């Protein structure tokens, strides 16, 4: 019969209306500034730069390879490579970013920068309360504002941070093994050369 469905629907909405006053479980909304729901592990907002140790500038992992700058779809990363070098965690001499700016008003939080970085140095943050009254300067963040410690990364994304730490540890171990092998090889070569020199003391002339 015409109108039957309407009556049923009205009953349903009336039930919702009254029910929302009786049981709080029905209310799915969260009273935001006072009440918050914990963010899920994969939450991501804007990128940050990871550093090791205590000094953000010294321990910054970024080597200014500019891969992220090229991959970023809206082109919101701006990097200037340094002229000099500083040692990285493997004690290799590397460039570092003299300037590293991200325009948060342009960033679309895609996370591609974090994905392409080969040095585990740019990661996605979960901070989202970034409103500012200055829409130009306030949203253009430099490397000092971007630098956050590895401990922070471990806190916000424990799983990913563990994987990244493991990858870095593996790299370090490989580098050390290689260095050791190099040293040994060098020593061996030196020894061999010495031995050769000893075997052939006087060439027949």
Residues lying near other proteins in the complex (CB under 8 A) are found at: 1-3, 6, 9-10, 12-14, 16-17, 19-21, 26-29, 31
122 vs 168 by CB, closer to ligand SF4: 122
Binding of residue 161 to ligand SF4 (CB under 6 A)? no
Q: Which does 3 bind (CB under 5 to 8 A by kind): other proteins, ligand SF4, none?
A: other proteins
Q: What is the SS3 string spanning the chain?
A: CCCHHHHHHHHHHHHHHHHHHHCHHHCCCCCCCCCCCCCCCCCCCCEEEEECCCCHHHHECCCCCCHHHHHCCCCCEEEEECCCCEECCCCCEECCEEEEEEECCCCCCCCHHHHHCCCCCEEECCCCCCCCCCCCHHHEECHHHHEEEHHHHHHHCHHHHHHHHHHHHHHHHHHHHHHHHHHHHHHHHHHHHHHHHHHCCCCCC
Of residues 125, 118, 138, the one with CA closest to residue 49: 125
φ and ψ at residue 47, rounded to 5 degrees: -75, 160
Q: Which does 113 bind (CB under 5 to 8 A by kind): other proteins, ligand SF4, none?
A: ligand SF4
φ and ψ at residue 122, rounded to 5 degrees: -120, 130
Instruction: Please report how close the Cβ of residue 81 comes to ligand SF4 at its closest, in angstroms.
Output: 9
Binding of residue 122 to ligand SF4 (CB under 6 A)? yes
Binding of residue 74 to ligand SF4 (CB under 6 A)? yes
Q: Which does 14 bind (CB under 5 to 8 A by kind): ligand SF4, other proteins, none?
A: other proteins
Instruction: Please report how close the Cβ of residue 9 comes to other proteins at its closest, in angstroms.
Output: 5
Q: Which does 131 bind (CB under 5 to 8 A by kind): other proteins, ligand SF4, none?
A: none
Question: Which of the stretches 5-13, 111-119, 155-163, 168-176 binds ligand SF4 when contact is defined by CB under 6 A?
Answer: 111-119
Where on the chain is the footprint of ligand SF4 (CB under 6 A)? Answer: 47, 62-68, 72-74, 76-77, 79, 102, 107-113, 117, 119, 121-122
């Amino acid at each position: 019969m015409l109108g039957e469905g309407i009556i049923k629907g009205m009953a349903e909405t009336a039930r919702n209306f009254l029910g929302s006053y009786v049981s709080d479980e029905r209310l799915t909304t969260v009273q935001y500034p006072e009440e918050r729901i914990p963010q899920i592990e994969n939450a991501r907002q804007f990128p940050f730069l990871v550093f090791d140790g205590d000094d953000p500038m010294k321990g910054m992992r970024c080597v200014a390879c500019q891969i992220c700058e090229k991959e970023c779809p809206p082109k919101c990363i701006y990097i200037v490579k340094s002229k000099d070098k500083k040692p990285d965690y493997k004690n290799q001499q590397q460039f570092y970013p003299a300037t590293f700016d991200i325009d948060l008003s342009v960033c679309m939080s895609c996370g591609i920068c974090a994905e392409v970085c080969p040095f585990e140095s740019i990661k996605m943050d979960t901070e989202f309360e970034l409103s500012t009254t200055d829409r130009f300067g306030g949203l253009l963040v430099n490397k000092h504002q971007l630098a956050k410690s590895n401990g922070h990364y471990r806190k916000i994304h424990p799983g990913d941070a563990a994987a990244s730490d493991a990858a870095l540890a593996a790299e370090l171990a490989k580098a050390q093994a290689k260095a050791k092998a190099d040293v040994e090889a060098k020593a061996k070569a030196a020894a061999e050369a010495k031995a050769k020199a000893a075997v052939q003391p006087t060439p027949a002339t």
